[in-house]
A = this chain, B = another copy of it.
């Protein structure tokens, strides 16, 4: 039952994020040159200010041998949420993928277009999902993401990412990454940090692009997972239509323990769905000096402007003294040029 609710939350999240924002500008409007971290400034797309100074001061103090704040390399674990933290989440890429899968499946088997819940997707009948109840939604995720081998799933993600464009922007998905975060990842790695993605999205979808988009290997992605089963005759791992782990909220420290085995000393999430608070709190319990960071989506011109109704993430950040990124003020540039 709990699993059903989790699948439902996941799907509801997809659909709630369907509303297109009219405040999005094309990344081609960001005329500044894309710079890399090879110059003197490791974070060229970050505006000079207190936050940038704090990040650099933290990294310098914990990597200085002999300092009381020194963190051994093997314990320099940095975790980043993905949706809304490393790339845009309006809409979720996961949702685009689910729709893509429906399209492909209907092409292969046109009769599906007459069957719910495929019919509703084909006909863009959002009301069906809003009102249709758990069953249809769970069936949609199960039908589009499971019931195949991992090799088949991987092939379908490759196809999807090769052709997908982001709605409203009409750019490849690589261009909805946040340039300042790419620099931050590079900067941390250059200082001996091991960088992980800890996403509420499904783990293999993110693994499909983690190395190419973020320089993060597949095994350093922690995410929502389905139940797997090894089939000796096929010599393949099958993904079954049942959720194994929902990697959001309290699920994030659990996923971190299972995959990483230790607390991150640097953790970064975003406000919007309060999905990263448990990860940030877990990080703050490290025995080492730690750094917590939250992206605040307050840039209606260059990205989006959205806040939680109860402001939970920002209130929690204030309570525990987490650092908050004001996209509007702290980021010189939002998206990379390519």
Contacts and interface: CB of A to CB of B under 8 A. Distances in A.
A235 B220 CA distance: 23
A59 interface: no
A96 interface: no
Contact of A259 (B74, B235, B251, B259): B259
B254 A219 contact: no
A229 B257 CA distance: 10
A194 B232 CA distance: 25
B257 A237 contact: yes
A230 B218 contact: no
A261 B229 contact: no
Contacts of A228: 253-254, 257-258
Interface in A231-254: 232, 235-237, 244, 250-254
A230 B237 CA distance: 29
A133 to B, nearest CB: 29
Interface of A: 74, 77, 150, 194, 196, 203-204, 207, 211, 217-221, 225, 228-230, 232, 235-237, 244, 250-254, 257-262, 278, 281-282, 284-285
30 contacts: A74-B211, A74-B217, A77-B219, A150-B257, A194-B217, A194-B219, A203-B261, A207-B261, A218-B261, A218-B262, A219-B219, A219-B259, A219-B260, A219-B261, A221-B261, A225-B258, A228-B257, A228-B258, A229-B250, A229-B254, A230-B251, A230-B252, A230-B253, A232-B278, A235-B282, A235-B285, A237-B253, A237-B254, A237-B282, A244-B258
